[in-house]
Structure 1
Amino acid sequence: MILGIGADLCNIERIAATLDRFGARFVARVFTDAERARSERRAARAASYARRFAAKEAMAKALGTGLRMGIAWREMGVVNRPSGQPGMELTGRAAARLAAMLPPGHRAEIHLTITDDPPFALAFVVIEARPEG
């Protein structure tokens, strides 16, 4: 069963300008260590950060909270599975919100897709509840 859906479109040029203006302070406030390590290795650094920023916004929408109810940026992190497929890892209040959404006897599956076509980055999240067992 689908518990939540979220999408976000992010302007890569806006993220590039934010990186130029606030640099490490912005990156440390919004992105996890794993996200920073991955994005800093990319030639298209701003696009990498923009895809992850869009994913966080989309995840917050799928959770039904937006970025309120105490959920912080760094509690939602884009991770890559061994296949390279993106996934989302939640901690803190974001993980607690997800747990509260689940019906008894179910586990959450987060589906994430991210892409970019400059000047835009796009992310789409679907939260699915699957029966345990």
Structure 2
Amino acid sequence: MIVGLGNDLVDIRRIEKSLERFGARFLARVFTEGEQARAGARAATAQGRAAFYAKRFAAKEAAAKALGTGIGDHAWFTDLEVGSLASGQPVLSFHGRAARTLAALVPAGHRPVIHLTMSDEYPLAQAVVILSAEPRVIG
């Protein structure tokens, strides 16, 4: 069953400006160390780096919307982390406050399942998050 749905659209140029203006301070406030390390390994150009971060920014905003809270007391940017499987499929992990908020949405006897898709076409980046709950299988 679906327990949350979120969507977000980000102007990559806005992220470019934040990176130029605030640099490491912006990165530390919004992205985990793991996300920052992956950006360094995957994005060769300034525009590619901004697109990488913009997609993840959109994913975090979409996740917070799916939680029904937005970014704030119940989920902060660094409570949400975007990684990927070996296949390249993006995965979203919830930590701290975001994990507790997600757990409160999931009915007893169920486990959360997080679905994420991200896309970009300069100057826009977009992400959709679907939060669902599946019955726990015992045995």
**1:65 aligned residue:** 69
For 1:9, give the aligned amino acid: L
How far did 1:65 drift? 0.3
The counterpart of 1:82, out of the listed 61, 81, 86, is 86
Partner SS, residue 124 of structure 1:
strand
Partner SS, residue 54 of structure 2:
helix
> What's the TM-score, normalizing by structure 1?
0.97
Identical aligned residues as a percent: 53
How far did 1:122 drift? 0.3
| Structure 2 CA distance for aligned equivalents of residues 19 and 115 of structure 1 | 20
**Following superposition, which runs of at least 4 residues in structure 1 exceed 4 angstroms of deviation?**
none
The counterpart of 1:110, out of the listed 111, 114, 130, is 114
| Structure 1 CA distance for aligned equivalents of residues 71 and 89 of structure 2 | 25
Q: How many residues align?
A: 133
1:13 matches 2:13: yes
Partner SS, residue 95 of structure 1:
helix
How far did 1:40 drift? 2.0
For 1:8, give the aligned amino acid: D
Greater mean alpha carbon deviation, residues 61-70 or residues 22-31: 61-70
Point out where structure 1 has 5 or more consecutive residues left out of the alignment.
none
| Structure 2 CA distance for aligned equivalents of residues 22 and 69 of structure 1 | 23
| Structure 2 CA distance for aligned equivalents of residues 103 and 70 of structure 1 | 18
Contact 2:74/2:101 (8 A) holds in 1: no
How far did 1:70 drift? 4.0
> What's the TM-score, normalizing by structure 2?
0.93
Partner SS, residue 18 of structure 2:
helix
- Give me the CA root mean square deviation: 0.8
